């Protein structure tokens, strides 16, 4: 394959977005009848039967800045005014050279899970029909199981076996001798106790809730912030997860295992040499204290189930997180310069004499066209059976010469990240189809489709094509590009606010479909829709009555043009217009709810879509930013809100 000239990124993203390359599309003027037809069309089902992923292209100051930026609505829902926040405008400062993330860092360390409180004496545990007194540690682990007694997990053999094995590890020798069969254990008394405690929590008095809220706020104030380079930054996860039973996603082979209590001896602290070192719990000491200013975490520990390192990190609204987001999207934008060459090269490699090159080229095509994740190598039996592009097996795809009137169709069916099922049937290029047939020859269903490829090989190749290029960057590029194109296609000048938001949500929906961001429909979805449709029915009746009254008022004014008749007519006209707007809003709301009941719009919005696209769209079409981003999201993306102008183009 001919090597693509390497595209280099700058150490820091440009401080100002590039001007648009072409003129904006202007919406064609439409009369009221056409408006009505358009709105009816918009409120009938989905606009998208499929997605075309690649369409034609469309056309700081060095000193520290600290300014007030409105990152939330000026008033709350209750009408109380919110104080404007003082914001560190780090994006206007000169970025530090090299890998230095901070020059000063001070914090108070993590908050550990509270000590176990033994059950009241009247709550009993029974073994083989007899009351048995458990040691404190054994009882604590037993309560984890008791809390899940009515859950599906406790009906699973893997979960029960893993739990019992780990439970026995914390038992005293005497308890081990006696407790040998989980089926003889009776946790029902414990289970009922926790149900009652849960109900008590739900029915707390206003005073109790207020007291708890104040306690949490005090803890947040003490542990939830750090001082970084002279600025007070919010910490994301300062509470260490309490011990519990591991669940995992899907049919995880380790479900039911005991997630042990984390102690200070497990925790590494990262802070400045000249800062006040956090104090561990009394009688304990930290595993280690280090002063590494080239990492972004404040504390770390290793969880015992899968050996993964957990980190105490800054909040998404922090400078470090914002810089990472900004750099991520700037890297994705760099693909504009070489994406055509990259595509031409992998297409050329489809006919390579080397099988490894052909497999790599086909994988790149699938990642590019379908926004598939690359997929990481995993130890067999250690995690749930989830795969990505590079780890696909023969059993995960079916080839059809013709399907539903389309040629060369590849049908995918596998569990992706978080055990989300990916099902898709897509037509592919003829040479890709032939290559897939070749890759599947003489292989069993459980064999690797790409047996000459893994993510390490793929990512090394991508880095050779463009600095910083990974499968995730390609996914981010295609997601953001799709949003930009769909917004350009669907938004019109004369759209009312509900119609504009429907366009935005449908553009976001297109990205979520592309990235396979699914969710289960809410449990009360049917009831919500029933209530909404009832409101729509009532509102239509009101509109019909208002239209009738308007017609009568108009006739009265036409027949006798008095000031009184004119005022009545104008009043009825305004009432009719207001009711029509309310009806439209309800209908759009129903459409949005139905279309997105099994689609998770938030995942792509937070992780794959350059926020400057949404900010620019809001500014161009005069849509309040609050309609697109909630308060937390506005804090996360305030760099984009401040930076992006109405003419920003991804």
The catalytic site residues sit at 608
Instruction: From 63, 50, 111, 54, select the one nearest 90 (Cα to Cα).
Output: 63
Give me the residues paired with residue 422 across strands: 414
* HSE-CB of 407 using CA atoms within 13 angstroms: 5
What tokens appear for 607 in the block?
């992780």
3-class state of residue 551 by DSSP: helix
Task: Locate the DSSP E strands across 34-154.
Answer: 66-69, 85-88, 105-106, 126-127, 130-131
Instruction: From 628, 580, 581, 635, select the one nearest 601 (Cα to Cα).
Output: 628
CA distance 345 to 361: 8
DSSP letter for 484, please. H
Instruction: From 57, 604, 614, 597, select the one nearest 371 (Cα to Cα).
Output: 604
- Percent helix, strand and coil across the chain, each to the nearest 5: 45, 10, 40
3-class state of residue 415 by DSSP: strand
Instruction: From 451, 285, 494, 473, select the one nearest 359 (Cα to Cα).
Output: 451
Instruction: Judge contact between 293 and 103, C-beta under 8 A.
Output: yes
What tokens appear for 27 in the block?
């919406």
Beta strand 288-290 with 268-270: parallel, antiparallel or unpaired?
parallel
Distances in Å between the Cα of 6 and the Cα atoms of 26, 331, 464 are: 37, 13, 7
Host H or E run for residue 403: strand 397-403
Distances in Å between the Cα of 445 and the Cα atoms of 409, 420, 439, 452 are: 19, 21, 12, 17
User: How many CB atoms sit inside 10 A of residue 227's CB?
Assistant: 17
DSSP letter for 75, please. B
What tokens appear for 131 in the block?
């009351």
Instruction: Judge contact between 258 and 273, C-beta under 8 A.
Output: no
- Strand-by-strand arrangement of the 126-127 sheet: 130-131, 126-127, 185-186
Host H or E run for residue 406: strand 406-415
What tokens appear for 294 in the block?
């080239």
Query: Which burial class, exposed, middle or buried, applies to 77 when counting CB atoms under 10 A from its CB (0-12, 13-18, 19+)?
Result: exposed
Distances in Å between the Cα of 62 and the Cα atoms of 96, 201, 238 are: 11, 52, 32
* HSE-CB of 412 using CA atoms within 13 angstroms: 21
CA distance 4 to 560: 80
């Amino acid at each position: 394959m001919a090597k693509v000239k390497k595209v280099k990124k700058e150490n820091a993203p440009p401080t100002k977005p590039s001007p648009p390359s072409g003129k904006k599309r202007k919406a064609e003027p439409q009369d009221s009848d056409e408006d009505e037809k358009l709105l009816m069309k918009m409120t009938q089902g989905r606009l998208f039967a499929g997605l075309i992923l690649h369409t034609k292209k469309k056309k700081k100051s060095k000193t520290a800045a600290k300014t007030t930026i409105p990152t939330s609505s000026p008033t709350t829902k209750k009408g109380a005014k919110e104080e404007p926040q003082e914001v560190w405008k780090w994006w206007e400062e000169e970025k530090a050279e090299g890998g230095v993330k901070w020059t000063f860092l001070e914090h108070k360390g993590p908050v550990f899970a509270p000590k176990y409180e033994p059950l009241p004496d009247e709550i009993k545990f029974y073994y083989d029909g007899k009351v048995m007194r458990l040691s404190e540690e054994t009882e604590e682990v037993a309560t984890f199981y008791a809390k899940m007694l009515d859950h599906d997990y406790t009906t699973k053999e893997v979960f029960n076996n893993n739990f019992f094995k780990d439970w026995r590890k914390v038992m005293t020798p005497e308890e081990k001798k006696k407790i040998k069969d989980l089926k003889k254990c009776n946790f029902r008394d414990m289970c009922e106790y926790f149900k009652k405690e849960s109900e008590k929590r739900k029915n707390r008095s206003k005073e109790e809730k207020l007291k708890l809220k104040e306690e949490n706020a005090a803890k947040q104030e003490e542990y939830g912030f750090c001082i970084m380079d002279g600025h007070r930054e919010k910490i994301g996860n300062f509470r260490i997860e309490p011990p519990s039973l591991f669940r995992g996603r899907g049919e995880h082979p380790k479900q039911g295992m005991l997630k042990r209590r984390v102690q200070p001896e497990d925790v590494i602290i990262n802070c400045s040499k000249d800062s006040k070192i956090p104090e561990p719990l009394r009688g304990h000491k930290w595993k280690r204290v280090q002063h590494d200013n080239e990492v972004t975490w404040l504390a770390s520990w290793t969880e015992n189930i899968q050996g993964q390192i957990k980190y105490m990190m800054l909040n998404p609204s922090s400078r470090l997180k914002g810089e990472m987001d900004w750099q991520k999207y700037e890297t994705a934008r760099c693909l504009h310069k070489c994406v055509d060459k990259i595509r031409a090269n992998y297409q050329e490699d489809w006919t390579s004499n080397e099988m490894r090159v052909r497999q790599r080229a086909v994988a790149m095509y699938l990642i590019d066209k379908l926004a598939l994740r690359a997929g990481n190598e995993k130890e067999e039996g250690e995690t749930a059976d989830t795969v990505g592009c590079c780890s696909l097996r023969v059993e995960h795809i079916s080839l059809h010469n013709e399907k539903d009137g389309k040629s060369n169709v590849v049908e995918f069916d596998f569990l992706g990240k978080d055990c989300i099922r990916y099902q898709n049937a897509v037509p592919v290029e003829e040479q890709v189809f032939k290559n897939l047939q070749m890759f599947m020859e003489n292989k069993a269903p459980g064999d690797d489709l790409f047996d000459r490829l893994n993510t390490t090989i793929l990512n090394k190749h991508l880095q050779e094509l463009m600095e910083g290029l990974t499968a995730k960057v390609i996914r981010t590029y295609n997601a953001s590009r799709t949003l930009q194109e769909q917004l350009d296609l669907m938004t019109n000048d004369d759209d009312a606010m509900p119609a504009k938001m429907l366009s935005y949500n449908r553009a976001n929906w297109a990205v979520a479909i592309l990235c396979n961001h699914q969710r289960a429909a809410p449990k009360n979805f049917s009831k919500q829709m029933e209530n909404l449709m009832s409101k729509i029915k009532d509102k239509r009746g009101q509109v019909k009555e208002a239209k009738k009254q308007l017609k009568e008022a108009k006739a009265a004014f036409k027949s006798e043009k008095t000031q009184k008749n004119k005022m009545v007519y104008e009043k009825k006209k305004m009432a009719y217009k207001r009711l029509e707007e309310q009806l439209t809003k309800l209908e759009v709301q129903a459409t949005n709810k139905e279309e997105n009941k099994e689609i998770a719009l938030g995942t792509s919005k937070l992780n794959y879509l350059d926020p400057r696209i949404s900010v620019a769209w809001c500014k161009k079409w005069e849509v309040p930013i609050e309609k697109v981003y909630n308060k937390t999201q506005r804090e996360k993306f305030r760099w984009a809100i401040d930076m992006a102008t109405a003419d920003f183009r991804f």
